[in-house]
Structure 1
Amino acid sequence: MSQKNFAFGQVQKHLGAKKYYAALSHLSSLSLQYSKDIEFLTLLSETQAGLKDFTNLIKTQSEIVRQRGSTQDKISLMRCYYRANQRNHALDVGLELQSQTLSTIEEQVLSKLLVKIFLEENDFEGAQEVITRALMSEADDFLLWAQGIVLLNCDNKERALDYFRKAVQLNPRNDQAWVSLAMMHKDMGDEDLYVANLEKAIDLNPYNAAALKLLAGSTQRKSERVTATFEHLRFYLAEYCFDEDISLCHIQMLCQVKQWDIAELEIEKLLLNEPESQSFKKIKKSMFEAQNLC
Structure 2
Amino acid sequence: MEVNYYRSQNSVIPAGTVYKSGSPRFTNETVALLFHNAKILFNFNDFNDALILLRESLNMDSFNVHLIDLCRKALFQIGLREESLSLLEASQRILYTPEKSIELARIYVANEHNDMALAQLFDVLSQLVEDETLLFETYKNIGCVYLKEKEFDLAQEYFHKAYVINSTDDTLLVNLGVLEYLKKDITQSLFYLREAINKNQKNDKAWVGLAMVHLEFGDRDLSWSNLTKAIDVDPMNRTALILLNDLAESDSQLEFCQNALITFLEGENFDEQISHLLIHIFIKRNDFQRAQLESLKSYLWNPQNTKNQELYNKITQFINVKERGVTHDSVSSK
Please say whether Structure 1 and Structure 2 have the same fold, judged by a TM-score greater than 0.5. yes
Match of 1:148 among 156, 177, 191: 177
**Secondary structure of 2:247's aligned partner:** coil
CA distance in 2 between partners of 1:104 and 1:176 (Å): 25
Match of 2:126 among 99, 111, 124: 99
Shift of 1:39: 2.1
Amino acid at match of 2:126: S
Shift of 1:88: 2.7
Q: Is 1:293 the counterpart of 2:308 in the alignment?
A: no
Q: What is the aligned-residue RMSD (CA, Å)?
A: 2.1
Shift of 1:98: 2.0
Match of 1:115 among 126, 140, 143: 143
| 8 Å contact kept, 2:31–2:60 | no
**Secondary structure of 2:150's aligned partner:** coil
Q: Is 1:60 the counterpart of 2:60 in the alignment?
A: no
Shift of 1:12: 0.7
Amino acid at match of 1:293: D
| Length, aligned pairs only | 293
Match of 2:194 among 165, 168, 193: 165
Shift of 1:51: 2.2
Residue by residue, what CA displacement relative to the aligned partner does 1:243-286 show, whole Å, maximum 9, x if unpaired?
Answer: 12211111111111121111111111121111112443454466
| 8 Å contact kept, 1:151–1:160 | yes
Match of 1:32 in 2: 59
Shift of 1:76: 2.7
Amino acid at match of 2:234: N
The alpha-carbon distance between structure 1 residues 22 and 117, as it changes in their structure 2 partners (threshold 3 A), is same
The alpha-carbon distance between structure 1 residues 282 and 87, as it changes in their structure 2 partners (threshold 3 A), is farther
**Secondary structure of 1:98's aligned partner:** helix
CA distance in 1 between partners of 2:78 and 2:110 (Å): 13
The alpha-carbon distance between structure 1 residues 106 and 282, as it changes in their structure 2 partners (threshold 3 A), is farther
Amino acid at match of 1:49: F
TM-score of the two chains, using structure 1 as the length reference:
0.91
Gaps of 5+ in 1: none
| 8 Å contact kept, 1:151–1:159 | yes
Match of 1:11 among 29, 38, 43: 38
Higher-Rg member (1/2):
2
Match of 1:257 among 259, 282, 285: 285
Q: Is 1:49 the counterpart of 2:76 in the alignment?
A: yes
Match of 1:79 in 2: 106
Match of 2:257 in 1: 229
Residue by residue, what CA displacement relative to the aligned partner does 1:213-247 show, whole Å, maximum 9, x if unpaired?
Answer: 111121422x3222222111111110114112211
